[in-house]
Structure 1
Amino acid sequence: MTLLVVQDLAVSRGGLRTVEGVGFSLDAGQALILRGPNGLGKTTLLRCIAGLQPPAAGRIVIEEDSLAYAAHADGLKSALTVAENMDFWARVFGGGDVAAALAAMDLQALAHRPAGALSAGQKRRLGLARLLVARRPIWVLDEPTVSLDAASVARFAGVIGDHLAQGGAALIATHIDLGLPQARVQDLTPFRARPGTRSARPSGFNEAFA
């Protein structure tokens, strides 16, 4: 079953195209790793696929409410505890097993600690744990292992593997090898836009809020 199709996609940042002509599909059980140098436009591409900004050209075919996006920012409420953050996201996304998600990312002992008191690595693990209560088949992940130690990277790679085994899919921008045998790798370098290529900005879209 195909969960995501990207056709001839172009994205822009600051009115200039970064990549163009990108195309791929993701089926249930598949992962796709996006590679390319810093500044190429990987984050912009993922934000576009996640629906946070419009494409400059091309088409994205995806079922509504089928995607969960984990960005560079962890997006936590610092005054809430770990468990309270998870409970909030479980309610927003229609309910998921909070206890199981905390266990999957080794956060049980921190359940009652305010998120603002966590280390950078613990915050990242909490941000990623929210994927497990989102009940969305497609995970779009932008450098998800930043701030994680080696043990936590291995743990999260196992979480992704379980997600794929259950029929989910993952689109991941990362420079490290997560050891996922199901993963394909796509280098975005050949899709770099021609220097100075400008894109018309959609009416009402302000990149300052993208």
Structure 2
Amino acid sequence: MSVTNKSPAVLQVRDLACERDGRRLFEGLDFTLGAGAAIQVKGGNGAGKTTLLRTLIGSTSDYSGEILWRGQVFPQGLRAMREALLYIGHRGGVRGGLTPLENLTWYGATKTSALEALERVDLFGFEDSLCNSLSAGQNRRVALARMFLPQAPCLWILDEPLTALDVAGVAALEKQMTTHLGGGGSLLLTSHQPLNIMGLNFVDLSDCLVEESFSDTGGEHVFN
């Protein structure tokens, strides 16, 4: 699959193969993510979706191929990318011994902006409760509140961000993602739930499983 890319590449993956526990999950993965573009990574359980995201943020080095941030190859590009990255994984980076307000200020938010972000994710009144006393859905919203802080990083990499959210929470998150893309930000995410994001593109890891030939998919994915 090939889509014309009119904006400079933000994140590029070239001939990427990833492993987990000594087993190669996929190979021959190519895609380009441009400014203002969104990609949803798809694939069955065990296909390597989370491993791919962890590889892109530098949490694992069990890969071959190239990853580039604004044309700069990893690992040099990784250091530059982390300055522009908002990553939310399965655990969300929420510290249970801190309150929601303290978690956001730990990430550098002011008290005012943190309170506003928590209100946006429907956590008004819970800002001073310890996170280890909150539900799984509330803790997920504490993590996602980082997306509502001013001057959020330009690249968002999100692993199953809709997990444990109700209908209203999903709608608010989709709206914020759309706003982020409209401002020139980029988004790469996984989700078992359908997303209502205009222009959302897809990379399916099932197309590049080790047992299958990736060349049948038509080459590199380029998204703008």
TM-score, shorter chain, exceeding 0.5: yes
Which structure 2 residues correspond to residues 141-156 of structure 1 after superposition, within 5 A? 141-156=158-173
CA distance in structure 2 between the partners assigned to 1:160 and 1:171 by the alignment:
11
TM-score (norm 1): 0.85
* 2:52 pairs with 1:45: yes
Query: 1:86 matched to which residue of 2?
Result: 104
Match of 2:203 among 171, 186, 208: 186
Q: Secondary structure at the match of 1:108?
A: coil
Tell me how far 1:103 sits from its aligned partner. 2.9
- Structure 2: 5+ residue runs without aligned partners? 1-7, 70-76, 213-224
Query: 1:59 matched to which residue of 2?
Result: 66
8 Å CA contact 1:154, 1:178 repeated in 2: no
Query: 1:73 matched to which residue of 2?
Result: 91
Query: 1:206 matched to which residue of 2?
Result: none
8 Å CA contact 2:88, 2:161 repeated in 1: yes
Query: 2:27 matched to which residue of 1?
Result: 20
CA distance in structure 2 between the partners assigned to 1:56 and 1:96 by the alignment:
42
Query: 2:222 matched to which residue of 1?
Result: none
Query: 2:72 matched to which residue of 1?
Result: none
CA distance in structure 2 between the partners assigned to 1:99 and 1:3 by the alignment:
31
Tell me how far 1:163 sits from its aligned partner. 1.0
Tell me how far 1:150 sits from its aligned partner. 1.5
Tell me how far 1:164 sits from its aligned partner. 0.8
8 Å CA contact 2:115, 2:127 repeated in 1: no
CA distance in structure 2 between the partners assigned to 1:166 and 1:19 by the alignment:
33
CA distance in structure 2 between the partners assigned to 1:96 and 1:58 by the alignment:
43
CA distance in structure 1 between the partners assigned to 2:171 and 2:18 by the alignment:
32
Tell me how far 1:55 sits from its aligned partner. 4.5
CA distance in structure 2 between the partners assigned to 1:135 and 1:158 by the alignment:
15
CA distance in structure 1 between the partners assigned to 2:11 and 2:107 by the alignment:
24
Amino acid at match of 1:149: D
Q: Secondary structure at the match of 2:107?
A: helix
Tell me how far 1:67 sits from its aligned partner. 1.8
8 Å CA contact 2:42, 2:203 repeated in 1: yes
Tell me how far 1:100 sits from its aligned partner. 3.4
8 Å CA contact 1:32, 1:171 repeated in 2: yes
- Structure 1: 5+ residue runs without aligned partners? 196-210
RMSD of aligned Cα (Å): 2.1
8 Å CA contact 1:90, 1:98 repeated in 2: no
8 Å CA contact 2:17, 2:29 repeated in 1: yes
Q: For residues 95 and 49 of structure 1, do their structure 2 counterparts lie closer, same or farther at Cα, with a shift above 3 Å needed?
A: farther
Tell me how far 1:160 sits from its aligned partner. 0.9
Q: For residues 70 and 143 of structure 1, do their structure 2 counterparts lie closer, same or farther at Cα, with a shift above 3 Å needed?
A: same
Structure 1 ranges of 4+ moved more than 4 A: none
Match of 1:97 among 113, 116, 119: 113
Tell me how far 1:6 sits from its aligned partner. 0.9
